[in-house]
Structure 1
Amino acid sequence: MTVTRHVVDVRNADGSRRRVQYRRAGSGPPVLLIHQSPRSSAEYLHLLDDWAADFTCFAPDTPGFGDSAPLPMAQPHVDDFADAVLAFMDALGLASAGAYGTHSGAITLITAAKRAPQRFSAIAANGYAVWTDAERTDFGSNYTPPFAPTAYGEHLAWLWHRIREQSWFFPWYATDDNHRLPRAHDNPHVIHATVLDVMAAGTSYGPGYAAMLQAPRDLPAPGAPTPPVMIMGRNGDPLQAHIDRLGPLPTGWQAHKLATDAEVEAAARGWLLRYPAPGDAVVTAPEDEGFVEVPGFGQLHWLGDPEAEILLLHAPGGAAELVARPRALTLDLPGHGLSDSPAEPPIALDSIVDVLVAAAARWPVTRIEGQGASARLAAMLANRLGLTHDPSPALRHGGWPDLTPDRHGSHLARAWSLARAEVCFAPWDAATAANARHFDPAELAPHRLHRRALAALRARHVPELLALIGD
């Protein structure tokens, strides 16, 4: 089943607008999938695929996580995240839906259901936290230290070990035998996925995560209206023990300790099938960002003015957000940014240009501009479309570092080294006086380097693309 990506603008409580990225799959009764912190909706790709046969699934990146904009307040409360779920439903035109959430996603949904019970046909919660006062005090002091980019990338070394060790100890900073977890691992690909999500969240990571760690037990009062709710916890999850902290449950609620993630997900699926919600989504998409469907490939992400004359192609290993400018349209290349990636490395430039042609033909562009090594792609695309292209200065492009995740996180240091060197030299991997690049010192601002490193880490098949482009 195809999982597609979308954007929608939602209205905050103060009347401002906020951009939300979300994934969608399937057909049938609407179901929301609310991820845990500090992840994104990417953690539900397997569920979107599995549940698409039974439901129309909507999995948003929650505020400040993934690629969704943060809430407008500096220190949001769990109530604010709950209201954001309701606002997302409003933006989709959903009067009601079933919902599934993991950890902080479960907390958010149960809070939302207490605030607006009529909006949910049923909720399945995988790990609902009932913190003690002592735990909230401890977490408030230690769990979410400030996370901000540093000039030389030290924050990424901290981040790698922070995420790796959260499978070793709970809380992650309680590094002693009494706090060990039973499913410790150092799988670099699992760690890397969470690290990328935290990098995408950036400075929103701390406040958003902290809101869930301070959340109270927020179950409906006896006799209060409530949708049916099933709370579950699997073996090895620290929150399984919190089922014993729940206390008396409202009528129509259940709580179960299960063995595996598969058992939890199967029980959740059955619960939501038992209480289907009516209705279809009716969405008004933003005018300055979206995803274009390319038959036989997937989706390309675009930014900017869809009526612009100029189409910008970022350099290999980059992203549309890094080159976006007024009165222009820009795409994430295949395998870059938020665009889908080809299953296999490209073996010919024509295969990439075919995808770009199918996308670009939908807009009234008259000129193509390629950044860096993408100048050749721009020329090929312009030729295929019968347009003009703006040639870039003849600059040698550099090679590409090995950014394959390893158990030590050393690939993060290589991505940061690339980001800094690109500002100072052209090509980046030839640091000589002859290759010095004139630059604005603002280009070395840590937050800009952070987004550049994230783009590099997200990119796929870059060495193969550069080899096809040639010098």
Structure 2
Amino acid sequence: MPSQITRQITRHVLTIPAQGGKPARKVHYRRCGQGPALLMVHQSPRSSSEYTELMRDWAAHFTCIAPDTPGFGQSDPLPGEPEINDFADAILEFADALGIAPCAAYGFHSGGIILVTAIKRRPQAFRCLAVGGYAIWTPEEMRIFGESYLPEFVPQPYGEHLAWIWSRILEQSWVFPWFDTREEARMSIAHADVEHVARTVSEMLDAGEHYRAGYGAVLRAPRDIPAPDAVVPPCLISAYDGDPLQAHIDRLGAMPASWSAQKVATPKEHQDLSLAFLKEHADTAPCGALPEDGHEGWLELEGGLIHWKGAKGGRLRLHRPAEELADPSKGEIAIDVPGHGQSDDFDDMKRAVEASAEALGVSDIDWPAPPAGDADRLYPDMAPDRFGLYLQRAWQVARAEAFFAPWYEANAAHAVPLTPEAIATPAVHARALARIRAGAAARRWHDTLAQIQGETA
């Protein structure tokens, strides 16, 4: 079994320089394990976080490297109207920037489409590839998907988009595609797993309207497997019972001699089969240090990771409860406080902040005052529920904050001046997402600040 150290997932940011008329872009990636490099590309509209458990499982065998593809998670989108070749090239650019090519690779669903496209464009960049489910759509299926699968996802003033996204993600396990409510479209793996749905909803909210670019490029991608005589690295495609793409194994047709496809019974069997294949064909040289940016990253503290931005050594700026870090000014450094934004939660928030300051070379911490009001009312329950009501709760609070202070006092005595900036839908959306991400940590941060304020009074 891998040790606790090798099972630790770290997070990093790497900026791909501008080249060939394309602007510079930020790529967020996760890393875990030891051994040869394994590039892992997630499905749409998810992020690299979907691989956290799998990365820990495979950590003893590989240095697992999972980027957020462009426009998903915390990675910048591609400009214009990108197609599948652009997403494949983006993965190749990332591998080149890390210095890991040629490497083994794994992709699930649309992640597999991106990687197969990348192999066709530059086969020498890979040692081998394992794919979970590979879609071969018929022309009629492509027409249906093109018309209905990717509606616009634009925040609406009263939060209507949140009701839609909850139902869309929840019912994707009931019928496939999600909008096909015929009995024939029922799935055998239907569930109402609140934690799973909430996690996927959160990733969809991170992507926003950019989900249509990445997902659309995959849906429109040509489904041509490399020709039987193509000189390409070995590949294994497998799909388990209940995966809507398992039936597509029969549609793959002739493949290169080193390629094979197999139906399996369970997700675990698919993962075990993929791991054995990757171990057989991967390089044996261990992966070395990987490059990352010097102006943003995640601190590895005992108990979790803290997200930071800015110039190390500057004044440390902290945000208030249920908010997130803003880009720091010159001479400042900012963090997402524990449990907020992109930082892990910590039992002792004050100690985690002080440890962050020490790690960042900061001696001056700007502790904010807690918001005025009754803490029991300022932070309503944001725990995901079966009906997605927590999303609407966050939206209503975010709108009320533009009208009153504290937000729950909806009366003339507590009115604040209305400004276009505060009530604008993108601003409300940002505040709602920050509150959703913070969850119960917002109240605990409020109490921590109140305690510090009392100690310094």
Calculate the TM-score normalised by the size of structure 2: 0.92
What residue number does 1:8 align with? 14
Offset at residue 266 of structure 1 (A)? 0.4
Q: Answer yes or no: is 1:445 the counterpart of 2:445.
A: no
What residue number does 1:457 align with? 436
Q: How does 1:243-282 map to 2 (within 5 A)?
A: 243-277=249-283, 278=285, 280-282=287-289
> Conserved in 2, the CA contact under 8 Å of 1:93 and 1:282?
no
Offset at residue 364 of structure 1 (A)? 4.9
Offset at residue 298 of structure 1 (A)? 2.1
What residue number does 1:330 align with? 334
Q: CA RMSD in A?
A: 1.9
Q: Answer yes or no: is 1:106 the counterpart of 2:112.
A: yes
> Conserved in 2, the CA contact under 8 Å of 1:311 and 1:329?
yes
What residue number does 1:144 align with? 150
> Conserved in 1, the CA contact under 8 Å of 2:325 and 2:336?
yes
Distance 1:334 1:109 in 2: 35
Q: How does 1:53-452 map to 2 (within 5 A)?
A: 53-73=60-80, 75-277=81-283, 278=285, 280-294=287-301, 296-308=302-314, 310-321=315-326, 324-342=328-346, 346=347, 351-365=348-362, 367-373=364-370, 399-438=378-417, 440-452=419-431
Offset at residue 419 of structure 1 (A)? 1.3
Distance 2:151 2:318 in 1: 37
> Conserved in 2, the CA contact under 8 Å of 1:399 and 1:466?
no
Gaps of 5+ in 2: 1-6, 452-457
- The aligned amino acid for 1:463 is R
Q: What's the secondary structure of 2:134's corresponding residue?
A: coil
Distance 1:20 1:90 in 2: 13
Distance 2:307 2:69 in 1: 19
Offset at residue 132 of structure 1 (A)? 1.5
State percent identity of aligned pairs: 45
Distance 2:198 2:102 in 1: 35
Offset at residue 163 of structure 1 (A)? 0.8
Cα 1:459–1:198, aligned 2, differ >3 Å: closer, same or farther? same
Q: What's the secondary structure of 2:260's corresponding residue?
A: strand
What residue number does 2:454 align with? none
Offset at residue 401 of structure 1 (A)? 1.1
Distance 1:100 1:144 in 2: 25
Distance 1:76 1:219 in 2: 21
> Conserved in 1, the CA contact under 8 Å of 2:369 and 2:449?
no
Cα 1:177–1:190, aligned 2, differ >3 Å: closer, same or farther? same
- Number of aligned pairs? 441
Q: Which stretch of the first structure deviates more once superposed, 461-470 or 449-458?
A: 461-470
Offset at residue 365 of structure 1 (A)? 4.1
Q: Deviations over 1:38-77 (max 9, x none)?
A: 011111111111000110000111110111110112x211
Distance 1:452 1:258 in 2: 44
Distance 1:279 1:366 in 2: 38
Offset at residue 288 of structure 1 (A)? 2.2
Calculate the TM-score normalised by the size of structure 1: 0.89
Distance 2:367 2:403 in 1: 20
Cα 1:122–1:2, aligned 2, differ >3 Å: closer, same or farther? same
- The aligned amino acid for 1:336 is H
Cα 1:13–1:150, aligned 2, differ >3 Å: closer, same or farther? farther
Offset at residue 222 of structure 1 (A)? 3.1
Distance 1:32 1:444 in 2: 42
Q: Deviations over 1:340-383 (max 9, x none)?
A: 223xxx3xxxx322211121124454543344528xxxxxxxxx
Q: What's the secondary structure of 1:207's corresponding residue?
A: helix
- The aligned amino acid for 1:116 is R
> Conserved in 2, the CA contact under 8 Å of 1:320 and 1:332?
yes
- The aligned amino acid for 2:443 is P
- The aligned amino acid for 1:147 is F
> Conserved in 2, the CA contact under 8 Å of 1:85 and 1:112?
yes
Q: What's the secondary structure of 2:382's corresponding residue?
A: coil
> Conserved in 2, the CA contact under 8 Å of 1:29 and 1:276?
yes
- The aligned amino acid for 1:315 is R
> Conserved in 1, the CA contact under 8 Å of 2:296 and 2:310?
yes
Q: What's the secondary structure of 1:220's corresponding residue?
A: coil
Distance 2:438 2:212 in 1: 26
